[in-house]
Structure 1
């Protein structure tokens, strides 16, 4: 069995060591301004954009109302002497105060010879501003200050939303971190408790956690039993029963009993800190779709400049005045900047990130998440992913006149003091059936064979099949043979050297595994199992849940090679695994999914982490990836589609037929495409995992 997953602290330590070295050497995280200042920096930008937005809103209202074009459009006349100078003054403030982030952004983009979104915005607002100022000082044309103001306003809104979504994701986690207790009750050598600061605690310290308190740090229970609420960390709503030797995660809530825990990890290595770092990481890996937006912006910039120049030349050559030709040129340049494009990706990504979190998914690398929509095959590691990873009783057979419950009680009583996984499996089964343990004396371990004790004056033994054979005890062995074929472990119960019953145990299959595989098949996705376990066990599990292909007895270092082999068949592959030994394979796969709120999450290698160890959450990845991608494409089409229609009209393609796009109508079209994009992104909230 793959039980050596990480029993030794040494292995844990090695993994952690590796994790830290990896960070020291490669420095993939730019800690300088992200980890500590990152959140404050974002928070500051959020308030900055928000304040700018509201201030510009106040200035935009009079600018729009005092615009002759807008007045004629709504059929009023509010003009008075000198009104244009008031509008010019207000607009100057809007341009320099509201437009500053975009002008600065454009400067950076042009310095890198990579014009994109910021350049496009800066060009449009600058053209609108300087052209209108020229009109104020006597140039023959119509001022379009209102166009400048609305552009700046909408773009500030887009950036505010984008910053806010990034910020909310990290805020949700920061708030988790802030919910961690500052102090803990440490148990000193003489058994007394004292309250100490979290920072003063060392690994190996014993802490007392009373009912209702939060676990101060990650650790292992050494005394006590309780229900622990981990919903904040794993999304699992049902409290989990934990007792001695179970791991607890810092930040989870102790419900009923008092627990003594031994600290295993300090704050900077804790599960929660790892999760927070991961989310920060995912915010830093800019998604491919955002590159798509920037690409679109870059092309729009080039097209706008070209279209503007051509427009100007054509109008002049057909005999229009310079003033009229410049008016056309300006309209083209201003209309080229799609307000909606600034909102298209940020809105969708913000909704998709929060939805993913709601479904228990942490997206570490967005490009891989976006690729998940194309998956053809999912490779599962067996132990701990499809199965529980611990022994459970699967079958019981009673001989003679003993009933199953008595059989279990006897076996559990004898096994009660044993640390063996088989003993734990039998005891768990007894507990779940609500059976009592009996009184026992003369406990004795028979080396290599089993254990024995005296119950109700009867000599009771729990022994291996080998012992039964050696004693030449005959019994009906058709069940035994069937169970062995399935790779189960069987123990026999002897009462006064008479055979009383047999109990079969195996690594229990998770309830949700079968449904997950069924759903994958519905989507024409292959399910493949890759395990280090023996062929018999693997085949049995595969048969139970409907796996398509089985690769068993694969050594950890061969797993990555197997993934490459499967990819070579032309399949896009997702790999799910839960241990350090799966890390290379997770990296190899097109999408690496780490399963489990374990602390040995294959942190550095997974693209997506399922916070709760439920294989069913994998389905959410595929459908959410597909839906997110579709929404993005729809939004980009809406955002740029507006330009495709408006640009030629603004350039005057239909002028010979008397159709010229006035900037006012342009503005209305533009607001419409912006509203559609915003609503469309929000529709993603109706996402259900089908």
Structure 2
């Protein structure tokens, strides 16, 4: 993980992660080396095989005295060198009394090698050297692929660690800058970030302005504008401006360290489907051993066939039932789905809960900050005459509001790109503000002020907007009521699509909010929700989740991960959305770094697709045994249909290839 990672992870965590990654890296390298060396030895074994020579129509042109002994020496090398991991695995599994994949592989190559060896030295029969060598090669390359898939998950930690720069430009008390290693930074330090540099720590901008690329941290593809007072995340990349920041979080408290910890938890969390695969492998091993024994004794004692024929059938059964593809079936899909999730800004803390997401019946959203933006903004502009368009009215109002410190002012200023100069600005205590804009006297006032001036208030529209939980201000220009502006928590555009996608999946969509029933009802109607719970206090949210669960529904809860923690914990699947720099929400199973409700639908679609791929792979990894085992055992031998060990190895390897390719086609549909 290198020098840079030391700054934000403890030495113990780093060492553990390093050892974990190095272990898989060494195993992958070992399988790769054994494969290539064994493959080189396999080529002359294939050339010297009498069976292959006959198949190619070469007759006995390549045969010579002693060729069998050369094959024996080369095959012995492949068996002991290339087959060593499987022989060791066989011993380990039998020592623990847990026969599995290694037991089957180890037995298959041992039987093939032992029998072929005694044939070389006098026993009548045929040698299986080329089948042995190709089987070992196939197994080695398969395990090499498996180790690479495991490494791809571990590599995520390494890549995250690389996001941090090596040094920071700390500003001294004298105003000078000094370059210091990241581990020397402390909370409260001031740091200069030059154009194009990585942000060295989480902090707040105290001077300067720039755009910052946070895509690797939050999934937000567009650079985010940063000005005084804005927060920046360590590891993000500064744009063309210079920034001076005050460090707020360092070390294990930093956003990046929390993400790294989440990735580590995701890697270590147990997959229920993996358990299923392991159980299937165990039973398949027992079936293989039983089928092998039945085949051997059946042909030996209850038929007129030779011992050689019985042994050949037994070896073929052992080869064909080798559950190597089963070992890849789930890990490959997990590796691909983890990669897909990370690319889309999904952090999976609990794989079992992620897999459970495919069975969700109801999804309960927190309203503020999840379905809505959680910011006060302009939701509607009304004009009461043709004198001014909505845009003109808003521009005049924003021009007056730019001198105001009222929270409503910010929402109005964000709604327009243009403002004019204001003269004679003044506030009307408790009623609003006024000012002269382009020679016009503009008042932005409360409904009470309008009534005081004996102006006719559009009461029906006003009461409708107020009922939706919105604040309404009226605009008077040159003593005439010209319009009104409604401000409130705006529904996210993406919420509409997200709810529709979820309902198309057959999921009931619900909402929890502390707002009054009128406000909640408006949002629910706008989005087409199936149900909503209003006026719910934070400590009552978990009870509402429990109430829905008691109907027999599998429930997912989606919230901002702060006051929703008890509800997230109570739900079958807890999803924290828009976690941003507060990404380490201990109670959430899945964390979506962006504030997009569409991601909730996407993560459920990914869970469904992942499970579907796992089941497909388990089928491909085991399904062919249904017809392969009887054929390998020689059930149709009376009809001249005999499955040789070579064909058995090809079928087995074909299932492995299908499993690997199928996993790669996983996508969020």
Q: TM-score, normalised by structure 2?
A: 0.89
Q: Specify the alignment match of 1:352 in structure 2.
A: 337
Shift of 1:85: 2.7
Residues 361 and 554, structure 2, Cα contact 8 Å, conserved in 1: yes
CA deviations on 1:128-162 (whole Å, 9 max, x unpaired) are 23333333333333222333322322222222222
Give the secondary structure class of the aligned counterpart of 2:610. helix
Q: Specify the alignment match of 1:532 in structure 2.
A: 514
CA deviations on 1:315-365 (whole Å, 9 max, x unpaired) are 222244444433333332233214433433333333333233333323332
Shift of 1:486: 0.7
CA deviations on 1:40-89 (whole Å, 9 max, x unpaired) are 33333332332232222222222333233333333334332222333333
Shift of 1:303: 1.1
Give the secondary structure class of the aligned counterpart of 1:280. helix
Q: Counterparts of 1:520 and 1:283 in 2: how far apart (Å)?
A: 28
Classify 1:157/1:435 alpha carbon distance in 2 versus 1 (closer, same or farther; 3 Å): same
Q: Counterparts of 1:97 and 1:436 in 2: how far apart (Å)?
A: 79
Classify 1:193/1:602 alpha carbon distance in 2 versus 1 (closer, same or farther; 3 Å): closer
Number of equivalent positions: 656
Shift of 1:485: 0.9
Which of 187, 193, 197 is the aligned partner of 2:177?
193
Q: Counterparts of 1:452 and 1:106 in 2: how far apart (Å)?
A: 86
Residues 345 and 632, structure 1, Cα contact 8 Å, conserved in 2: yes
Give the secondary structure class of the aligned counterpart of 1:435. coil
Classify 1:471/1:184 alpha carbon distance in 2 versus 1 (closer, same or farther; 3 Å): farther
Give the secondary structure class of the aligned counterpart of 2:581. coil
Q: Specify the alignment match of 1:20 in structure 2.
A: none
Q: Specify the alignment match of 2:558 in structure 1.
A: 576
- Structure 2: state its 5+ residue gaps: 1-8
Superposed, 1:362-441 pairs within 5 Å as: 362-397=347-382, 407-409=393-395, 411-413=397-399, 415-416=401-402, 420-429=406-415, 433-439=416-422
Q: TM-score, normalised by structure 1?
A: 0.86
Q: Counterparts of 1:419 and 1:98 in 2: how far apart (Å)?
A: 76
Q: Specify the alignment match of 2:607 in structure 1.
A: 625
Residues 214 and 224, structure 2, Cα contact 8 Å, conserved in 1: yes
Residues 443 and 454, structure 1, Cα contact 8 Å, conserved in 2: no
Q: Does 1:110 align with 2:84?
A: no
Which of 191, 216, 241 is the aligned partner of 2:200?
216
CA deviations on 1:502-554 (whole Å, 9 max, x unpaired) are 32211111111101111222222211111223322221111111111111222
Shift of 1:558: 2.0
Give the secondary structure class of the aligned counterpart of 2:624. helix
Q: Specify the alignment match of 1:27 in structure 2.
A: none
Q: Does 1:58 align with 2:45?
A: no
Q: Does 1:662 align with 2:644?
A: yes
Q: Counterparts of 2:114 and 2:478 in 1: how far apart (Å)?
A: 103
Give the secondary structure class of the aligned counterpart of 1:581. coil
Superposed, 1:246-395 pairs within 5 Å as: 246-318=230-302, 319-395=304-380
Q: Counterparts of 2:249 and 2:404 in 1: how far apart (Å)?
A: 28
Shift of 1:497: 8.8
Classify 1:86/1:274 alpha carbon distance in 2 versus 1 (closer, same or farther; 3 Å): farther
Give the secondary structure class of the aligned counterpart of 2:335. helix
Q: Relative to structure 2, which stretch is displaced further, 87-96 or 273-282?
A: 87-96
CA deviations on 1:452-484 (whole Å, 9 max, x unpaired) are 778789987655545666787653333321210
Q: Counterparts of 2:553 and 2:25 in 1: how far apart (Å)?
A: 42
Q: Counterparts of 1:613 and 1:659 in 2: how far apart (Å)?
A: 61
Q: Counterparts of 1:654 and 1:507 in 2: how far apart (Å)?
A: 73
Which of 539, 559, 562 is the aligned partner of 2:541?
559
Q: Counterparts of 1:497 and 1:481 in 2: how far apart (Å)?
A: 23
Residues 573 and 590, structure 1, Cα contact 8 Å, conserved in 2: yes
Superposed, 1:407-556 pairs within 5 Å as: 407-409=393-395, 411-413=397-399, 415-416=401-402, 420-429=406-415, 433-439=416-422, 446=429, 462=444, 464-465=446-447, 475-492=457-474, 501-556=483-538
Q: CA RMSD in A?
A: 3.1
Superposed, 1:40-59 pairs within 5 Å as: 40-59=22-41
CA deviations on 1:362-382 (whole Å, 9 max, x unpaired) are 333222222222222221111
- Structure 1: state its 5+ residue gaps: 1-22, 25-29
